[in-house]
């Protein structure tokens, strides 16, 4: 059994992001994986990093649980909209509080003060799904797709996750029902390729 953590960040339960997360979870469960889905807005995740957590352990039980799950995850799926080239604030706060030293990374002793971390995450594969109301050509030409750099280089590669798949669905605001259905099928295909179906003999094993 493969432990996969899905993190969803969108305030509207009727959003296409919710549909993406549901399709991904359904596909992965059908493949025999152990899936945990967190809807950060619905759960009321507290994104503000208290000063005491920067060097100390978190006192928030929800943050502690997220840290445990992140460390144990063998696969990670992130779903969020592209807002100003960034994730929603609640997801950035989740990263601030959960991708912490001793959980996601650590520093090498005697690294001459360079602060180059060593990734600690068990997960070898991460998938990021984004939605946008900017056409792909303009996104690349004008903005350079900052979410690609953020998730691949600044977060996952730095924390030891070497394989990162990312998919941007656009343009959401003008999309048809048929287009969205096709995107959900693509979602299923992508997570299915990232985390293949387990043989029956490997399911429900610790």
Mean pLDDT, residues 7-19 taken together: 98
**Integer CA distances (angstroms), 178 to 18, 183, 190, 192, in order:** 17, 9, 18, 21
Q: How far apart are CA 175 and CA 5, in angstroms?
A: 28
pLDDT tens, residue by residue, 122-156: 999 999 999 998 767 777 776 778 999 999 999 99
Contacts of residue 149, defined as CB under 8 A and 6 or more positions apart, other chains included, come to none
User: What superfamily would CATH give domain 3-202?
Assistant: Flavodoxin domain (3.40.50.360)
List the chain domain ranges: 3-202
The pLDDT value recorded for residue 109 is: 75
pLDDT tens, residue by residue, 95-120: 999 999 999 999 877 666 566 789 99
CA quadruple 95, 98, 100, 103: dihedral, nearest 10: -130
pLDDT tens, residue by residue, 25-53: 999 999 999 999 999 999 999 999 999 99
CA quadruple 179, 180, 184, 187: dihedral, nearest 10: 70
The pLDDT value recorded for residue 108 is: 79
Q: Residue 3: CA atoms inside 13 Å, Cβ hemisphere, count?
A: 12
Q: How far apart are CA 150 and CA 40, in angstroms?
A: 19
Mean pLDDT across the chain, nearest whole number? 92
The pLDDT value recorded for residue 203 is: 54
């Amino acid at each position: 059994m493969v432990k996969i953590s899905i993190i969803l960040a969108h305030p509207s339960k009727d959003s296409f992001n919710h549909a993406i997360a549901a399709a991904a979870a359904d596909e992965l469960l059908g493949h025999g994986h152990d899936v945990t889905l967190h809807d950060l807005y619905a759960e009321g995740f507290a994104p503000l990093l208290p000063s005491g957590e920067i060097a100390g352990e978190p006192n928030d039980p929800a943050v502690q649980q997220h840290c445990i799950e992140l460390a144990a995850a063998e696969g990670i799926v992130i779903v969020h909209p592209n807002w100003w080239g960034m994730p929603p604030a609640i997801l950035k706060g989740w990263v601030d509080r959960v991708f912490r030293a001793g959980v996601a990374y650590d520093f090498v002793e005697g690294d001459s003060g360079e602060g180059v971390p060593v990734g600690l995450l068990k997960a070898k594969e991460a998938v990021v799904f984004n939605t946008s109301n900017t056409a792909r050509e303009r996104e690349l030409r004008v903005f350079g797709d900052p979410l690609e750099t953020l998730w691949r280089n600044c977060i996952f590669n730095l924390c030891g996750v070497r394989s990162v798949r990312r998919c941007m669905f656009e343009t959401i605001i003008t999309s048809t029902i048929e287009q969205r259905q096709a995107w959900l099928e693509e979602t299923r295909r992508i997570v299915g390729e990232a985390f293949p179906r387990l043989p029956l003999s490997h399911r429900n094993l610790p």
